[in-house]
Amino acid sequence: MMELIFEKSMSGRRGVDAGTPKNNIKLGVKFSRTEDSKLPELSELDVVRHFTKLSRKNFSVDTHFYPLGSCTMKYNPKVNEVAAALPGFAGLHPITGQLMPEAAQGALEVVYEISSQLCEITGMAGFTTQPYAGAHGELTGIFIIAAYHKAKGNKKKYIICPEAAHGTNPASAAMGGYEVISIPVDAEGEMDLDLFKAKMTNEVAGVMMTMPNTVGIFHKRVIKIIEIAHKFDALMYYDGANLNAILGKVRPGDIGFDVMHVNLHKTFSTPHGGGGPGSGMVGVGKNLLEFLPSPCVRKNVEGKFFQCTNENSIGPVASFYGNFGVLLKAYTYILMLGREGIIDATEMAVLNANYVMAKLKEYYYLPYDRSCMHECTFSARNQVKNGVHALDIAKALIDRGIHPPTIYFPLVVEEAIMIEPTETESRETLDEFIAAMIDIAKLASTAPEKIKSSPNTTEISRPDETKAAKEVKTICEQ
């Protein structure tokens, strides 16, 4: 087991010598420590080795196949980082856009252009770059829906979410002050249309749909659902976290969605997963433009960009333009792929998911046996008969050098295993994954204890996950 950096500490060992300050600056007593800080004492080499070793124990897209369903862990091209680090962008103070727009034309242009690109991709009329993540975008969208109904004097109380919705959907609706009506899925994995109709009233403010949904299925009856919702003046919200499945194929705005968010960190390639900076840009149709958060960016007749405010804005939901670095990465990625590249990405993502599904359905139970979009959801139901659960299968994959897929989500599938390979993986990598999954399925029936004891190649095999998150040190001492 690896020692903690504190355990490696040797009294008096140094990495750098900060020297003695020349002008002995005196801090007030209330700012001074009463005892020495407990920093580890190590040489530079000790520190380098410690963190390099730690980093090698990690899983990342750069080191391992990472088919985490619903998360779109595609490869993030390094050129994105180069763009985000350009000194002209990275060093610009965010208020320059307001106070000295002539000195921030490039940055304002990026905000303007990424919004236009997303309008083109989604069919919406305008976007805000502010929200920091998908869930933040959902809350922003709910505020916009509420502002719309308030302006019209509509009395609304409910938001409808299909049962297969991502957990953040009902949570955002509730945070925005609405009561949530959850509609079960039918035998095909879609929102049950009859139950939906029965719940639709004048008190429904909006309907939130994830498309394709969390079992990787595109609702065939979505046009009907939108028609019904609009009859009651309920707005349609599109959770765009799964946009990677439909780029260049369907535009949510064209089929009648009113509000949507796009997870730039998923579909448009920013490293994510460790809680790093993200972006959940929100787009709206023409009738909702006035409610978008401010500031916004417009272009005047001379082609100069300037900061503006929306007429009946819900106000800012973040400072300035949100996570600007993430906008730059997405902008670079979209320009690099171009129209054809973006369509190609979606086609490959869907093909890869269907390939995995077709190869594995003989070994794992497939609850919705129809062609999928960019991800496929299995159930470990067959393996449970031998005492092997989805969790055990996930752990066994770690031993085989693969990041586990999403498990136990969506909730509508018992023992769910949700696989999203993404377009950036080669046929060879998919075949390795398929072989590992088949190997696990076979062992699950012949030697289930081998799967149940996984992982065997890691520092710790199966920590109590809650305890590991809350009491890091105690777990490491065990």
Ligand X SMILES: *Cc1c(COP(=O)(O)O)cnc(C)c1O
List of residues contacting ligand X (CB under 6 A)? 70, 133-135, 166, 168, 210, 239, 241-242, 263, 278, 280
Please give the Cα distance from 26 to 108 (Å, whole number). 44
CA angle 298, 303, 305 (to 5 degrees): 35
Nearest alpha-carbon partner for 234 in 209, 200, 273: 200
- To ligand X, the closest distance from the beta carbon of 133 in angstroms equals 4
Please give the Cα distance from 183 to 196 (Å, whole number). 6
Q: Are 59 and 396 in contact (CB under 8 A)?
A: no
- To ligand X, the closest distance from the beta carbon of 406 in angstroms equals 9
- To ligand X, the closest distance from the beta carbon of 460 in angstroms equals 26
Please give the Cα distance from 251 to 248 (Å, whole number). 7
Please give the Cα distance from 247 to 423 (Å, whole number). 12
- Amino acid, res. 427: R
Q: What are phi and psi of 356, to 5 degrees?
A: -60, -45
Comparing CB distances to ligand X, the nearer of 70 and 379 is: 70
- To ligand X, the closest distance from the beta carbon of 390 in angstroms equals 18
Q: Are 161 and 183 in contact (CB under 8 A)?
A: yes
Which residues on adjacent β-strands are paired with residue 376?
419
Comparing CB distances to ligand X, the nearer of 206 and 280 is: 280
Comparing CB distances to ligand X, the nearer of 110 and 241 is: 241
CA angle 377, 380, 381 (to 5 degrees): 115
- To ligand X, the closest distance from the beta carbon of 166 in angstroms equals 3
Nearest alpha-carbon partner for 461 in 396, 389, 411, 381: 396
Q: Are 176 and 372 in contact (CB under 8 A)?
A: no
Comparing CB distances to ligand X, the nearer of 172 and 383 is: 172
Comparing CB distances to ligand X, the nearer of 172 and 332 is: 172
The count of C-alpha atoms lying within 13 angstroms of the C-alpha of 240, restricted to the half-sphere facing its C-beta, is 37
- To ligand X, the closest distance from the beta carbon of 168 in angstroms equals 5
Comparing CB distances to ligand X, the nearer of 61 and 444 is: 61
- To ligand X, the closest distance from the beta carbon of 333 in angstroms equals 17
Q: Are 291 and 277 in contact (CB under 8 A)?
A: no
Comparing CB distances to ligand X, the nearer of 394 and 441 is: 394
- To ligand X, the closest distance from the beta carbon of 44 in angstroms equals 37
> Strands (DSSP E) along 95-187, which ranges?
126-128, 158-162, 179-183
The count of C-alpha atoms lying within 13 angstroms of the C-alpha of 150, restricted to the half-sphere facing its C-beta, is 10
Comparing CB distances to ligand X, the nearer of 10 and 174 is: 174
Cα 101 to chain centroid distance, Å, stands at 32
- To ligand X, the closest distance from the beta carbon of 217 in angstroms equals 13
Got the DSSP string for 281-311?
EEEE-GGGGGGS-S-EEEE-TTS-EEEE--T
Comparing CB distances to ligand X, the nearer of 375 and 392 is: 375
- To ligand X, the closest distance from the beta carbon of 270 in angstroms equals 10
Comparing CB distances to ligand X, the nearer of 241 and 396 is: 241
Helix spans in 177-323 (H):
193-199, 222-231, 264-267
Cα 16 to chain centroid distance, Å, stands at 39
- To ligand X, the closest distance from the beta carbon of 82 in angstroms equals 24
Please give the Cα distance from 313 to 218 (Å, whole number). 32
Strands 158-162 and 204-210, how do they pair? parallel
Residue nearest to ligand X (CB): 134
Q: Note the maximum CA span of the chain.
A: 78
Structure tokens at 472: 């890091």
Comparing CB distances to ligand X, the nearer of 97 and 162 is: 162
- To ligand X, the closest distance from the beta carbon of 83 in angstroms equals 21
Comparing CB distances to ligand X, the nearer of 239 and 415 is: 239
